[in-house]
Amino acid sequence: GVQGQGIINMTLSSSTISVDVREEQGNIVADFVGAKLPRGQERRLDVTDFATPVTLIDAFNRGENARLVIQRVGESEFLAYQTDDRYIIEVNPVAEEEVTGGPGQQKIYTGELLSLNFQDIEVRAVLQIIADFTGLNVVVSDTVQGNLTLRLQNVPWDQALDIILQTKGLTQRQNGNVIYIAPAEEVAAREKLELEALKAKEELEPLVSDTIQVNYAKVEDIKNIIEERRGANEDSDSFSLLSSRGTVSFDPRTNLLIVVDVPSKLPPIRELIQKIDIPVRQVLIDSRIVIANDDFSKELGVRWGFSGVRSTSDNGLAAISGSAGGNETIIGSAIGNLTDTGQPFPVEVPALADRLGVDLGVGGTSRLALALLGQDYLVDLELSALQAEGRGEVLSNPRVITTDRNEASIIQGQKVPFNTLDEAGNTVTDFEDVNLELTVTPQITPDGRVILDLEVKKDEIVGTAPNGELILGNREVKTQAMVDDGETVVLGGVFEKVTRNNVDKVPFLGDLPAVGSLFRRNQQENTKLELLIFVTPQVIQSGGIQVR
């Protein structure tokens, strides 16, 4: 069967054959009294491949009777009934949990059990027996005629009624405690006439106007939903919200819906609006953005400097210093002295930065400087040692409220100016957004949990192009997580680690054993940077949010 049941359908040589059905040692045994199987029909059937509770069927003659033994597997129940010369045994699997509702699912019968065993009885008489058994009022159409033979044992009365109706091509309509039974064609024709009469009534019935206040939903969305259910023809008009003459409009200023239609169409529209015009639940997105860094740098070096000046035999001047700027200071002051006094001396001493010819120092603390000043020379020595450690944390705590299934964004950043050239070759200043962006779309589940669609984007400046435009780097994390209300989800992995070891030295001198350390500088730098984002959704209940 379509529901996974095993159906054994047998044709009897006469509807008067008596059948004794029972359970023995977990098997179903049916004895057909006074009947014999034809020669060649005694056999064993293996029906395991049909995936029903039935596995084996043994058919054989036993004494003066024919016997059928049905072997089952798993939990199951059976139903046996006879209609005229057909005898049917249904073996239905018993599910662990009964599920009701939905198309295609097996109908659940809840009526009181009864047994029926009749040979060639009128259909109307059987219906009367069921009416007496249930105490319901049964109205049977005059067109219901005919006889049937049936045998039902311990069957719910509503299932027995369905079997009888299906066998004779009948159908039922129940209104309260009254059941109307007639041939299916007659009921369909009657209902068609009723629909046509209702359609004619709507065509002649006066129209009325009704205004409905929409509180939470967009009135335009409600209007579109109602118009989508408009009847396009006679068959669909009875299932539509609007008749073919009905109209719907709205006032966006007051959020009012205006419906003009026949009176019978207005209550269903009000009922629909009452179901969908409800407040949408909101979610508070509490985020904490943490940028944790761990810096360490260490430098050790020596800076030497030598500056000197001396007169030459041809009344010239020879100068030496740590840089061209130092020499320029010495020569420039000597020329000025010659102009003023006719003597080049005394010359101006260059600044320290120009005197230190081997520029291996650091611009930090913990410096030791020595200078040796002669009559016409100056020797500088600066020992520098710097070790710096830094641990920092940048914390921001933005919050935003959004409705269920709607996106919320949190953007933190700055506009960075940079110069570039326009089409005419002029230098213009432009701005580039460098942001940390968090996008969250919450979805509240029926059990109160929250599904978060999370996306994190982090921009940073990594350099400048030759034309002056900025080179931007981008990191992005996109994921989905399901958390309890008030639970925190942590996004990490945006991690950066920089390790540098630089050595600056004087060629040849910096490579000398022992004394080479006087002519070089070692620089070591370790930087760790990690972006952590903590997101905590909290469902806002009516009346506020619980403080946690």
CA angle 421, 426, 431 (to 5 degrees): 50
CA dist 320 and 455 (Å) reads 62
Kindly report each contact of residues 343-352 with a partner whose C-beta sits within 8 Å and lies 24 or more positions away, as own/partner: 344/311, 344/317, 345/309, 347/309, 347/319, 349/307, 349/378, 350/307, 350/321, 350/322, 350/323, 350/325, 350/326, 351/325, 351/326, 352/305, 352/380, 352/382
Kindly state the tokens that stand for 232: 């396009």
Q: Which domains does the chain have, with CATH numbers?
A: 6-183 (2.60.40.3470), 205-276 (3.30.1370.120), 300-387 (no CATH), 390-540 (no CATH)
CA dist 19 and 67 (Å) reads 10
Q: Tell me the pLDDT of the chain (548 aa) as tens digits.
A: 667 788 888 888 887 888 888 888 889 999 998 888 888 888 888 888 888 889 999 999 988 899 999 998 888 888 787 777 888 888 888 765 444 444 445 678 888 888 888 888 889 999 999 999 988 899 999 888 888 888 888 888 988 898 888 888 899 988 888 899 999 888 888 888 887 887 777 677 888 999 999 998 889 999 998 888 775 554 555 567 888 888 999 999 999 999 998 888 899 999 999 988 888 888 998 888 777 777 656 666 666 666 666 666 666 667 766 666 666 777 777 777 777 776 776 767 777 666 655 444 333 434 444 444 444 455 555 555 555 566 656 567 788 889 888 998 888 888 888 777 777 878 888 888 888 888 899 999 988 899 999 888 888 777 777 766 778 877 778 888 898 888 888 877 666 777 777 777 777 777 778 777 767 777 777 777 777 788 889 988 765 544 44
Task: Give the residue among 529, 504, 526 at the shortest CA–CA distance from 387.
Answer: 526
CA 438 from chain centre, in angstroms, equals 17
CA dist 412 and 397 (Å) reads 11
Altogether, the residues listed in the chain come to a count of 548
DSSP H or E segment with residue 187:
helix 184-204
Residue 397: helix, strand or coil by DSSP? coil
Assess contact for 490 and 481: CB atoms under 8 A: no
Assess contact for 126 and 148: CB atoms under 8 A: yes
Question: What is this structure's pTM?
Answer: 0.46
DSSP H or E segment with residue 371:
strand 367-373
Residue type, 162: D
Strands (E), 63-193: 65-72, 76-83, 86-93, 113-122, 137-140, 147-156, 170-175, 178-183
Kindly state the tokens that stand for 185: 């064609």
Kindly state the tokens that stand for 377: 């020379």
CA dist 160 and 180 (Å) reads 16
Assess contact for 301 and 504: CB atoms under 8 A: yes
What end-to-end distance do the CA atoms of the chain give, in Å? Answer: 56
Q: For 310, left (φ over 0), alpha (ψ -120 to 50), or beta? A: beta
Assess contact for 208 and 259: CB atoms under 8 A: no
Kindly state the tokens that stand for 318: 């020879």
